Every structure is written in C-alpha cells, then in structure tokens.
C-alpha cells in the first residue's frame, strides 16, 4: 500500500478524533453552565409548622436558610392532597386523572413520560432517595434507593436498585446519609445532577428520632383557634370524616400509650412500630415516654381536657419529627457549601401536601381546606433569584416538573399541564399568570372517610363541590381565613357563586377532566 493511499484514511481518523474531543469539551462546558437541581420533599409537613411561614409552635432554622437565600412562595397548593397522587403530579406535570394515579390504591405507570427521564435524556445524572410510595419501581433514575411503601421510622428497610436491606438507625438520618453518599461517591462530576431526596417524616406514626424524644416536654403548645370547631355551617363531609384528634387517634400507634392492656389487665403486645426498636432504642424510648404515660394514666382526663392532652401529645411528636428533617436540610446545605456546589445548585424544599395540626380538631389532610391544601415551597438559586423574596402568585405542584425542565434548558413537552415558575422566581410573572387553582380529591370510601370533591380557589374565594353528596361550600378567605363560615347559601354572595362556578367549569375543561382517570375503571 502506498503512502499516498493511507493519508486520506489517517486524515479521517485525526479529524474524527478532533471532532469527538471538541464535542466532549463543548458538552463539559455546557454541563458546567447548567444548574444542579436538589429537590427535598418531606411528607405531610404543613407550612404553618415552618419558621419562615410564621409558625407559632416550632422553629426551623435550616429550612429558613432557603427562604433567606431565595424565594418563599406564599400561595403554593397541591392538586390532590394525598401522598402518592401528589408525587405522581410532581413527576409528570399532569393532573391525577391524566397520570393515572389518583388514589393511594392505584399503581404508578412508570412507562409514561416523567421529568427524570427527560432530564436524563438531556444529560443530567438522576437519582431518587427516600420515600417513593408509588407501588412500582422508580424509572428514569441512574440511581435509586427507596423505602418500600410508607417505610418505617426506626431501622427501616430500603430497596437499592432492586435489592432490599435493613439499615439500623433513624430513617431521616439514613435518607440524608444516602443522599450525601450519592453526591460524594456516586456523582459524575462531568454532569449536572437532579437529586430527589424524599423524607418519610413527619408522616403519621410520628416517631421522633433519638435526639428529640424529650424535646418540648417542658412546653405547652398554643392551640389552634379551630381546635373545638363544631362544623356548624358545613355539610356532611366535615361532620362525618374520621380524622379527629378527639376520637380517631389510636392509643398505641399515635399516642404512644404502649403496651396496651391485654386480657385480665395483663400487658398487651407491643405494636408493630415498637417491635422495630432494638433493645437500646427501646430503652431510650421507655425512658422518654414512660413517665409521661404514667402521669397521663393517673390524671384520668375527660372531655375537653382529654382532647387538649391528645393535641399536645400529637403535635409535639409531629414537631419532634420535623426537627430531624430540619437537621437533615442543614447537613445537606452544609455539604453543598463545603464542596463548592452551592453556587450552581438550585435547592427546593417542599412537602407533598399540607396537614391539619389540630385545625378544625383534625390531623391528616385530603380536604381542600387551607391547612392541607397549602404546601410550603422554598427555592434558592444563587445568582438567579433575589434572596429573601416572597412570591404571592398562585402556584401548584403541577408546575414543579416544568420548572425543573426550564431551569435545565430542556423543552417542556406540550402535554404537561403546569407552567414554569422561572418568571415568578425572577420577580417578573407574566400578565396571564393563573388567577385560580383547580383541585380534585378521589379517595372515598377509604381511611379517614373524606368525601370526594373538587373545587376552585382564587386569591379571595374558595368554592368546593362534594359531588358524591351534592353539597356546595363557599368561603370568603378575606373575612373568614379559618373557613368556619360556609356562605354558599348567602344571597350576598350570589354573584361570586355564579362567577366561581363558571371558573370551575372552565378549569375542568382546560385540564381535560372528564370525570375519568386514565388506566382506571370507574
């Protein structure tokens, strides 16, 4: 073979190699300019149990760091106030009826389009750690390590890329350890990352971590103004639910009065939660709760005094769990600072929905009333958003997926139903930003017996239709922020009812809600 005959081929190889190198360097520069996205979500963390949202009952200094350094959304709401469905909305940017996961009894279709799949395709390294709660394995993630189902507070089982193992310790600490380990040891430094860090706490069961078993023992928590709500102006749904602190908290599971008396006054069996504890953990638990439980049994409380005691026990355990979540946020923020990642990382803190903290005499969520409808949302993005900003616009968890994609420079698919929050974060919301939010809850009959309903909320009014009961409720949030006075039948609000019903019909049509859930019967 002559020298001349080899040159074209050699030249081709050199040029090809040069193109590959150039492409690689361009990709690295592009990746370096795109922000990392860290999405931290707790479970059932009400906004009114966060310091920067004006909590009267606890402090959250580390979560507040995000508000100080970024944007606090004053009016963020969920589309369906229940754990699994909210998560499905966040993943897909679609309402429950279109993503197919409308109740916790459904299974998430992991084959559908999701934000981690789109980000992964665009060059992001994607990871999911903690509570998943969608009944099928995560898809679209380069790495995942999740709790099965609800997961347990102590010594939880986690499933890492399909392999299950038990981790000794407290679940909030363990999830944080795994998230930091991903960032420290599994992260591809040549790619931006999208990490979803989902906490179990403060979900029901409310088992505080070892560090906080006695926190608040010397404090009497302020009672919410509606603790003794009698639901006088409301209909069947508020009166017939099963989520009252007075009647529906379980003695052992919720109130920690354990072990229960068994037959003939003998000690009963430990609850399943207690069986999770090691002897060392059990000793610490007994030392913390034994004296308190003995004092309660000896007091023999009744009536309002008993309700007040149950509220104190519930709210303190709930807040003790939040204290560990706040520590977790602090650990992760400190890690980002130490590794020089803070400046190019968007950090989001939210919850899958709100929660009743004794409001209306309740615990749990589900209803469209403010305390469970409202979600915390804090976003810190150094250099891109003004620190200490408060955004009053009406936003939804429906908007989260679109916001992630827009921040990453990825085209938002046309079938997603929310809107990117980037203009709002920049302090320049578009003139056509939504003036009303649409909500729909499906899970009835089921635990807590909250009736099916849908509704609309504007900056001042909220109209709710319990369609399986044929009952309407209207609240003037300016005059009645605690929603105790249903004015639906008041002639003075006739014009508002007419306008809100028209808005409700328009939004129902806009979001393609034809009263059916994709992939589900009935």
Question: Phi first, then psi: what are they for 280, rounded to 5°?
Answer: -65, -45
Q: What is the pLDDT of residue 13?
A: 42
The dihedral sign for the CA sequence 392, 82, 226, 495: positive
Is 502 inside a domain boundary? no
Q: Are residues 45 and 25 in the same domain?
A: no
Domain boundary among 397, 422, 437: 437
CA distance 329 to 63: 6
Mean pLDDT value of segment 343-364 = 98
pLDDT at 4 over 80: no
Q: Are residues 87 and 152 in the same domain?
A: yes
Q: Are residues 164 and 94 in the same domain?
A: yes
Q: Are residues 27 and 43 in the same domain?
A: no
Percent with pLDDT over 70 in the chain? 92
Burial 453-490 (b: 16+ CB within 10 A, else e): bbbbbbeebbbbbbeeeebbbbbbeeeeebbbebbbee
Is 418 inside a domain boundary? yes
Q: Are residues 185 and 112 in the same domain?
A: yes
Is 469 inside a domain boundary? no
Is 290 inside a domain boundary? no
Beta strand extents in 96-209 (DSSP E only):
125-131, 143-147, 157-160, 163-166, 193-198
Q: How crowded is residue 127: how many other Cβ atoms within 10 Å of its Cβ? A: 24
Q: Are residues 163 and 29 in the same domain?
A: no
Q: Are residues 75 and 29 in the same domain?
A: no
Mean pLDDT value of segment 431-456 = 98
Q: Are residues 153 and 24 in the same domain?
A: no
Burial class of 148 by CB neighbour count within 10 A (0 to 12, 13 to 18, 19+): middle
The answer to whether residues 347 and 379 touch, using CB atoms and an 8 Å cutoff, is: yes
The answer to whether residues 316 and 221 touch, using CB atoms and an 8 Å cutoff, is: yes
Q: Are residues 17 and 114 in the same domain?
A: no
Q: Are residues 332 and 429 in the same domain?
A: yes
Greater confidence, 3 or 167?
167
Count of all residues that appear for the chain in the document: 522
Question: Phi first, then psi: what are they for 396, rounded to 5°?
Answer: -135, 160
Average pLDDT, the chain: 93
pLDDT at 170 over 90: yes
pLDDT in tens, 399-408: 999 999 999 9
Is 69 inside a domain boundary? yes
| Maximum separation of any 2 CA atoms in the chain, in Å | 104
Q: Where are the alpha helices (DSSP H) in 300-355?
A: 303-338
Q: Are residues 13 and 157 in the same domain?
A: no
Domain boundary among 437, 472, 491: 437
pLDDT at 6 over 60: no
Is 294 inside a domain boundary? no
Work out how many domains the chain is built from and give that number. Answer: 2
Domain boundary among 376, 409, 437: 437
pLDDT at 435 over 80: yes
**pTM greater than 0.85:** yes
| 3-class DSSP assignment, residue 359 | helix
Q: Which domain holds residue 12?
A: 1-33
The domain that contains 390 carries what CATH number? 3.40.720.10
Cis peptide bond upstream of 371, omega within 30: no
pLDDT at 12 over 50: no
Q: Are residues 3 and 47 in the same domain?
A: no
Is 71 inside a domain boundary? yes
Is 239 inside a domain boundary? no
CA distance 223 to 333: 33
Percent with pLDDT over 90 in the chain? 88
Greater confidence, 29 or 122?
122
pLDDT in tens, 82-138: 999 999 999 999 999 999 999 999 999 999 999 999 999 999 999 999 999 999 999
CA distance 120 to 124: 5
Q: What is the pLDDT of residue 60?
A: 98
How do beta strands 143-147 and 377-380 pair? unpaired
**CA torsion, points 359, 363, 364, 369, in degrees to nearest 10?**
-20
């Amino acid at each position: 073979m002559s020298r001349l005959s080899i040159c074209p081929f050699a030249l081709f190889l050199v040029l090809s190699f040069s193109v590959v190198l150039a492409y690689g360097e361009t990709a690295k520069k592009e990746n370096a300019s795109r922000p990392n996205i860290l999405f931290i979500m707790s479970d059932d963390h009400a906004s009114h149990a966060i310091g920067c949202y004006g909590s009267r009952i606890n402090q959250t200094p580390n979560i507040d760091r995000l508000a100080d350094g970024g944007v606090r959304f004053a009016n963020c709401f969920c589309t369906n106030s229940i754990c699994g469905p909210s998560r499905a909305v966040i993943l897909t940017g679609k309402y429950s009826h279109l993503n197919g996961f409308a109740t916790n009894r459904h299974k998430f279709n992991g084959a559908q389009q999701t934000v981690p799949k789109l980000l992964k395709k665009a060059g992001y390294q994607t990871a999911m750690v903690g509570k998943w709660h969608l009944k099928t394995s995560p898809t679209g993630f380069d790495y995942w390590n999740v709790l099965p189902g609800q997961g347990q507070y102590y010594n939880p089982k986690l499933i890492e890329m399909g392999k299950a193992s038990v981790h000794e310790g407290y679940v909030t600490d363990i999830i944080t350890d795994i998230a930091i380990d991903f960032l420290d040891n599994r992260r591809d430094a040549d790619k931006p990352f999208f990490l979803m860090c989902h906490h179990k706490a403060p979900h029901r069961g409310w088992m505080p971590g070892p560090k906080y078993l006695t926190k608040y023992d010397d404090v009497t928590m302020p009672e919410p103004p509606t603790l003794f709500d009698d639901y006088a102006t409301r209909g069947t749904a508020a009166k017939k639910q099963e989520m009252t602190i007075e009647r529906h908290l379980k003695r052992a599971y919720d109130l920690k009065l354990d072990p229960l008396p068994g037959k003939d006054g003998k000690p009963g069996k430990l609850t399943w939660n207690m069986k999770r504890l090691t002897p060392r953990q059990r000793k610490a638990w007994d030392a913390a709760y034994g004296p308190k439980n003995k004092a309660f049994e000896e007091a023999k409380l009744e009536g309002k005094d008993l309700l007040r005691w149950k509220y104190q026990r519930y709210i303190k355990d709930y807040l003790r769990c939040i204290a560990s979540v706040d520590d977790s946020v602090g650990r992760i923020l400190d890690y980002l600072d130490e590794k020089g990642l803070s400046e190019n990382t968007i950090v989001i803190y939210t919850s899958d929905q709100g929660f009743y903290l004794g409001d209306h005499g309740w615990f749990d969520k589900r209803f469209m009333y403010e305390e469970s409808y409202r979600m915390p949302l804090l976003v810190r993005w150094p250099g891109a958003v003004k620190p200490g900003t408060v955004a009053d616009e009406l936003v939804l968890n429906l908007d989260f997926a679109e916001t992630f994609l827009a921040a990453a420079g990825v085209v938002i698919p046309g079938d997603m139903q929310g809107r990117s929050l980037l203009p709002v974060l920049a302090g320049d919301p578009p003139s056509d930003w939504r003036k009303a939010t649409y909500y729909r809850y499906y899970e009835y009959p089921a635990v807590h017996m909250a009736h099916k309903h849908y509704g609309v909320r504007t900056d001042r009014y909220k109209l709710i239709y319990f369609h399986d009961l044929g009952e309407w409720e209207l609240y003037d949030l300016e005059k009645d922020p605690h929603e105790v006075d249903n004015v639906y039948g008041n002639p003075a609000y006739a014009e508002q009812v007419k306008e809100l019903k028209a808005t409700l019909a328009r939004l129902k049509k806009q979001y393609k809600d034809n009263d059916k859930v994709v992939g589900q019967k009935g």
